[in-house]
Structure formats: C-alpha cells, structure tokens
Amino acid sequence: MKIGSLEFKTAPLLLAPMEDVTDPSFRILCKKYGADLMYTEFVSADALIRDIASTKRKLTIFAEERPVGIQLYGNDIDAMVEAAIIAESVNPNLIDINFGCPVKKIAKKGAGSGMLRDIPKMLEMTQRIVKAVNLPVTVKTRLGWDEESKVIVEVAEQLQDVGIQALTIHGRTRAQMYTGEADWSLIRAVKNNPRMHIPIIGNGDINSAEKAKLYLNEYGVDGLMIGRASIGRPWIFEEIKHYLTTGELMPEIAVDEHVNRVAEHLYQTVEWLGEYRGILHMRRHMAVSFKGLPDFKSLRIKMLRADTVLGIEEVFNIIKEKYADYQPTISE
C-alpha cells in the first residue's frame, strides 16, 4: 500500500485520530508496539489560524513516532485551506481531513461528519486543500449521514477524483454515532469498485487479533485503522501483527509487565502534560487497562482517585503483589 512516498509492504495498522487520546506520548507507545501510521488528535482549523496555543501544540511531532498525519476539521473552506498550509509547515507525512467525527458540537456546525450533508462543499474543500499543499491529502469519513443517505460508494469515487491519496471509512453513519455493529459491506463495495485505485482503509469494531485477520480477508481492504480498542491497550497492534504473521494468538502479558507498560505511558504523559493534567489524561486509559483482572474494583477506584504519580505508583505496587501468581489466559 502506498500513500504518496509512504510505502507499506503488508496491510498497515493505523492508529485512529482521537481527541484527548492520540497525543505524542500515546502515539510513541503505539508505534513501539507495532502501529504503522499515527494521526494527531483532531485539530480545529479555526483555532489553528487564530494561533491558539493549545491547538498549535497538537502539531508537535517527534521523530520516533513517524510517520504521522495531522488531521484537520472545520466547515469553512478558506480556513481549512489556511490551516492545511500551517500544518504542512511542521512537516507531517500527510494531511488528513476529518469528515467523520459524529460529535454533536462539531457535526451540527457542518464540520466532521456534518460535511456529509453537503457533498458539493466537501468536494470543493478537499480539492482546494489538495491544490494548496504538497503533501499527500487523505480523508476519513463515514458511510453517510443516516440510514437513508449512505452515499459512501459515490462519494469515495468523487473524493478520489479531486485528488485524495487514501480514504479511511468508518462503517457507521453519523446517526449511529458508535452504537450498533459497524457495517463493512459498503466498505467492501468501495474497495471492489473497479474505478477506485487509491488505498481503502477500514475502521470500526476492530478489537482483537482474530477480528483484524477476519476483516482483512473478508473485506479486502488495504489497511486497518484501530481506535477505541487501543485505549488502555496500545499493544493491540503487537497482538494483531503477531497473529497475522504466525497464525497464533500472542500470549497475554503477565500482570507485572502489564503494570510496567501502563507506568511507562503514565510517565511519558506526565512529562508531556505535567503531573496534574497528565494524571487526568491517563485516567481514561487506566480505567480500562486492567479489565479482566478478578476482584479489581477497589484497586481501580483507588488508582483513579490518586492525584499524584507517587500515589498511582503505590497502587501499581499493590497490583503487582496481589496478582503475582495470577496466570492470564488468551481468552481473558
């Protein structure tokens, strides 16, 4: 699979852009555990051109996490073009346009998946961004706005015609948000369209190594994008690659190693955001990271209530001691 000068010898695994999740500390870990292409958090075009410091900070990219795409969202074409030029100046590997975010405050303003209600504007915005930058431009979107407007097959071809170099499709409509099961049948229809020649990347419900292999084989996509399943478990990329390569499930890591990996994420996040904000940020990951451990509720509460790194480390030590003899199995 190729996107501009980026070339992947096998079907790549991509880390989905997620607000308040895919900051550099998390991206570096996902890269370490096998992700092939990272994306930043959503970057607001309006905030970027207004030079908002917190938004500009989202453009930070470190060498060890590359390749990285910067994902932009907005509903004003001129602002999106200007933002793309600013984003290009920090030398990402590509620019991605967010036509998929279903969050109400974004979609109701006509940005993200809200653009699915104005396809001509979507196409004009994409074409102008493609012409304004020298980097590859990609798009992430959904099947359509709702059940009655699943337009992805036609829109995919139109987006290709205005110059995008890869398309990621989440197998739900905006109306579905993240409910129900992702429908990959239309993703397959896009991939099987003989007029399509750009890479098609599938997204939605990939939460295990077995499912990753099944969907690659069943739907024929060029790559897989993984989002929510990586939260608290960035090594899911390692698990998937192991299974795709060997045909065998990777043994579950021991609890001691599990704790060490979460601690590594904690330290990197605190280094990036500071102790207070870093701990708040990490709670989302820690809340789900130890899912499956028996009798863990009280320790989870204590861990999530800790407001210092030292307090969290104390809980980590208790976890290691309590589960020293625990033997996880692949099915857990």
Catalytic site positions: 101
CA distances from 232 to 35, 61, 282 (A): 15, 21, 9
> What H or E segment, with its residue span, contains residue 142?
strand 137-142
C-alpha–C-alpha distance, residues 148 and 323, integer Å: 51
DSSP alpha helix (H) spans, the chain: 24-32, 45-49, 53-57, 77-88, 104-107, 119-132, 152-161, 185-192, 209-219, 236-246, 255-273, 275-289, 297-305, 309-322
Q: What SS3 class is residue 150? A: coil
Give the count of beta carbons closer than 10 Å to the beta carbon of residue 70: 27
Please, which residues bridge with residue 97 across strands?
72, 139
| Residue with token string 């969907």 | 215
Exposure letters 109-126 (e unless 16+ CB within 10 A, then b):
ebbbbbbbeebeebbebb
Q: Using the structure block, give the residue that is written with the tokens 């790549």.
A: 12
